[in-house]
Amino acid sequence: MDLDVTGVEQAVSTGSLPDGERVEQLVAAAHERNRLVADGVVADYIPALASADPDAFGVCVVGTDGAVHAAGDVDVEFSIQSISKAFVYALVCEVVGHRVARERVGVNNTGLAFNSVVAIELNDGHPMNPMVNAGAIATTGLVPGADDAERWEFVGSGLAAFAGRELRVDEEVYASEAATNQRNQAIARLLASYGRLDADPRRSVDLYTRQCSVLVTARDLAVMAATLADGGVNPVTGRRVVSAGVCRDTLAVLASTGLYERSGDWLFEIGLPGKSGVSGGLVTVAPGKAGIATWSPPLDDAGNSVRGQRATAYLSRALGLNVFASADYRLSGPADEPRRNT
Ligand code: GLN
């Protein structure tokens, strides 16, 4: 696809969140109405994740003005898992640029599970997109640095800048996944066999496993998401983390791929870019307005948090965040369930 957009002056058009008191009420309501939903199963394919509390549930919204609205377990740490893919991708895009990111990693949905090997084979060895394991490992392979320590510094300090605080690795989760991630190792070697990985496969998987083991809270994730909503400036610290162009590119990728093979359902119902992870986190970005994060470990069969999806659907509607909505619309059912427009 060759699009001639050189020299076009870029403009941005967006709205704003309702007033703080209203956001506070709606965040509390998103938590309250989904607190007792009992569907979903806690992930156990990484042994250390199996002990997560299925009742834990936090909801947090951070506006691009830096205001924090929280309900429930928003200060409990858990490993970030796949949500790291979104932020490491942004950090890497900042370094390698739009064209290399698109060519080496890709931006199209696989339509298959996050850890699919078949997806690689079906696409001539291409990792397809940075939000599935193959693309995340290919992205990690583009991290700059002369050695493992420098590459980790790039990833660790970048994630910390997004969160606005120092983050540490859960060594137990890291060791548990490192001992059981043969599938990710196979994915990396398969990419390397196709010449699609720019670094040593073992090192790339190790770096990826470490980035997935970084401990965050729902509050951290909401600040990280708000940074992507705010054109790359962390609205709490005021510090620029990535450029506005990188945010736009990252959000476009999240919109089409952030919830794996359910990304279409997600966009249809929520209308915002999002990213989920197997430890039960879910981040959603309302460009120019806010970052939303939820944490609830029980997952659906695609690996997306059940309560998280419901709470975010509620907030997207109640706060008016769907990027495709151009006029008020009346709804036929409860705000956190799929419904018909009337
Ligand atoms: N570290 C996990 C894995 O590679 C992350 C997967 C996820 O959160 N979906 O399997």
Q: Is the CB of 308 under 6 A from ligand 1?
A: no
Place of tokens 């151009």: 326
How far, in Å, are 62, 78, 176, 227 from residue 221 at the CA level?
9, 11, 23, 10
Q: Is the CB of 303 under 6 A from ligand 1?
A: yes
Q: Does domain 84-212 have CATH number 3.40.50.720?
A: no
Q: Is the CB of 177 under 6 A from ligand 1?
A: yes
Ligand 1 atom with the smallest distance to the CA of 115 is: 10
By the 10 Å C-beta count (0-12 exposed, 13-18 middle, 19+ buried), 123 is classed as: middle
How far, in Å, are 59, 172, 299 from residue 48 at the CA level?
23, 7, 16
Alpha-carbon distance 297 to 319, whole Å?
Answer: 24
pLDDT digits (tens, 9 = 90+) for 192-217: 999 999 899 999 999 999 999 999 99
Residue with CA at minimum distance from ligand 1 atom 10: 115
Alpha-carbon distance 191 to 119, whole Å?
Answer: 11
230 CA from centroid of ligand 1 (Å): 27
Q: Is the CB of 304 under 6 A from ligand 1?
A: no
Q: Give the mutation target among 45, 46, 78, 81 for probing the ligand 1 site: most ligand atoms within 8 A of CB.
A: 81
What average pLDDT score do residues 82-96 get? 98
23 CA from centroid of ligand 1 (Å): 31
50 CA from centroid of ligand 1 (Å): 13
Q: Is the CB of 278 under 6 A from ligand 1?
A: yes
Q: Is the CB of 34 under 6 A from ligand 1?
A: no
Q: Where are the domains of the chain?
A: 20-81+215-331, 84-212
Ligand 1 atom with the smallest distance to the CA of 133 is: 4
Q: Please name the residues in contact with 282: beta carbons below 8 A apart, sequence gap of 6 or more.
A: 83, 274, 275, 276, 293, 294, 295, 304, 305, 308, 309, 312
What average pLDDT score do residues 8-19 get? 81
299 CA from centroid of ligand 1 (Å): 13
Question: Any bridge partners for residue 331, and if so which?
Answer: 341
Is the CB of residue 177 less than 8 Å from the CB of residue 46? yes
pLDDT digits (tens, 9 = 90+) for 142-156: 999 999 999 999 999
Q: Please name the residues in contact with 144: beta carbons below 8 A apart, sequence gap of 6 or more.
A: 95, 150, 151, 154
Q: How confident is the model at residue 326 (pLDDT cuts 50, 70, 90)?
A: confident
Query: Bigger pLDDT: 6 or 107?
Result: 107
pLDDT digits (tens, 9 = 90+) for 227-252: 999 999 999 999 999 999 999 999 99
Residue with CA at minimum distance from ligand 1 atom 6: 82
Q: Please name the residues in contact with 122: beta carbons below 8 A apart, sequence gap of 6 or more.
A: none
The identity of residue 158, as a single letter, is G
The identity of residue 241, as a single letter, is V
How far, in Å, are 84, 133, 163, 279, 314 from residue 112 at the CA level?
20, 11, 30, 20, 27
Report pLDDT for 10. Answer: 72
Report pLDDT for 334. Answer: 58
Whether 20-81+215-331 and 84-212 share one fold: the answer is yes
Q: How confident is the model at residue 341 (pLDDT cuts 50, 70, 90)?
A: very low
DSSP string covering 62-102: EETT--EEEEES-S--EE-TTHHHHHHHHHHHHHHHHHHII
Q: Is the CB of 162 under 6 A from ligand 1?
A: no
Q: What is the CATH number of domain 20-81+215-331?
A: 3.40.710.10
The identity of residue 293, as a single letter, is A
3-class secondary-structure state, position 292: strand
